[in-house]
Chains A and B, each alone.
Chain A
Amino acid sequence: MIDKRVKDLASAVAGIKDGATLLFAGFGQVGEPVELIQALLEAGVRDLTVAANNSGTGEVGLAKLIRERRVRKLICSFPRTSDSHCFEAAFAEGAIELELVPQGTLSERMRAAGAGIAGFYVRTGAETKLAEGKETRMIDGKLHVLERPLRGDVALIKALKGDRWGNLVYRKSARNFNPVMAMAADLVIAQVKEIVELGALDPECVVTPGIFVDRVVEVGR
């Protein structure tokens, strides 16, 4: 029998080690697995590398993890948002390393990791500072940049509903990075508002099939 449900948040994040590379879904706060990140903070892990589109909002979730100096390096497309003071303070202090990645490249690097693709050439970033030090190649008369996959040891994701096989559905624009991050990590942990019976999710509407998911925890929101 397959049962990926775990009883609480502490069990959901059990086994994540210091120094791990983590993928955090979300676009701003929408789709961000705030409860899982809080559990990770409480578990005491540190020296983390985190890939996320932004750098956290206010003093919750990723922002709090950065405030507590648990994040050594952030791989990110847009760290400076309306309420990113925790990251900005750490950055100004030199307490966090930033790898700035164009948003589509960030997403595609994770897709490549999930799809068994060792690298890809893309126009995005060609002839810019963000391509410095990267291999380039002229293809069809245009300069392309070689980008490598980005794989996480762990992905923390958030969905609306899930079942015990790990099938997931999302809500509106809270889907964002969740499905691609679910493909790109060795251990994928999903927080869901509600766990439903197997068969209750319309198979035509499942966005993340359970094969990508290892643990599901219900958080009620």
Chain B
Amino acid sequence: MKQLSRRQMAWRAAQDIADGAYVNLGIGLPTLVSDYLPKDREIVLHSENGILGMGPAPKPGEEDPDLINAGKGLTTLLPGGAFFHHNDAFLMIRGGHLDLALLGAYEISETGDIANWTVEDPATPPGVGGAMDLAAGAKEIRVILEHNTKEGASRIRRRCHYPLTASGVVKRIYTNLAVIDVTPDGLVVREIVPELDFSQLQDKTEARLTLANDWRKLEAPAI
């Protein structure tokens, strides 16, 4: 079955980000979104370690060890960008100044709960970082994740199995198979990859889905 690659998922999520938005991209898959922001929009990326106006990864020879992103990879600053300290960085997050946080997750529930900080493996120390601050504080939360685990289990569940990061905050979910909105009436499928029909998507999903009347095919350019 054809499904979106990780980069195509990132591309799809990027298309929905509005001109002028202040956005935090979580570490991992969401970080890829920065490569596909539409060129005709000014979108200001926020990094929790004190950056607004974060740019792309540096070109060879232009790396600066004092300029890193939330995932601790090297980054750059765009003209108009600014540096500030950690408390201001999190004031922006917790005080509702960010328009959007696009996060990764282990699981999402049908009521918009998100679990992304621990899998409760005693051998592995947990790490929360800025996840709970972003999930509780940004004006809108969207999530980008693989629809199923490697073993085929649904990551979109009636209730999250792993400990929550925040409850009832997620508004839109991008997966390798579909775009799904979390609404007061439950999960509404907006887009599905062409090779899959709605009942096949439901079979891969633990939570109950409904199909939007104006649903579309989920297609992304070859990347």
Task: Write the residues of chain A forming the contact surface with B, with a CB cutoff of 8 angstroms.
Answer: 27-28, 30-31, 53, 55, 77-82, 87-88, 91-92, 98, 100-105, 107-108, 110-111, 122-130, 170-180, 207
Contacts and interface: CB of A to CB of B under 8 A. Distances in A.
Contact of B94 (A80, A88, A122, A172): A122
A202 B165 CA distance: 42
A143 to B, nearest CB: 9
- Count chain B CB atoms within 10 A of each CB in A80, A101, A107, A124 and give the residue with the most: A124
B136 to A, nearest CB: 4
Contacts of A126: 136, 166
A91 B125 CA distance: 7
B164 interface: yes
B87 A175 contact: no
B210 to A, nearest CB: 26
Most buried by A among B67, B125, B137: B125
A171 B66 contact: yes
B140 interface: no
Contact of B64 (A103, A127, A172): A172
B130 A102 contact: yes
B79 interface: no
B124 interface: yes
B67 to A, nearest CB: 5
B206 interface: no
B185 to A, nearest CB: 21
B131 A28 contact: no
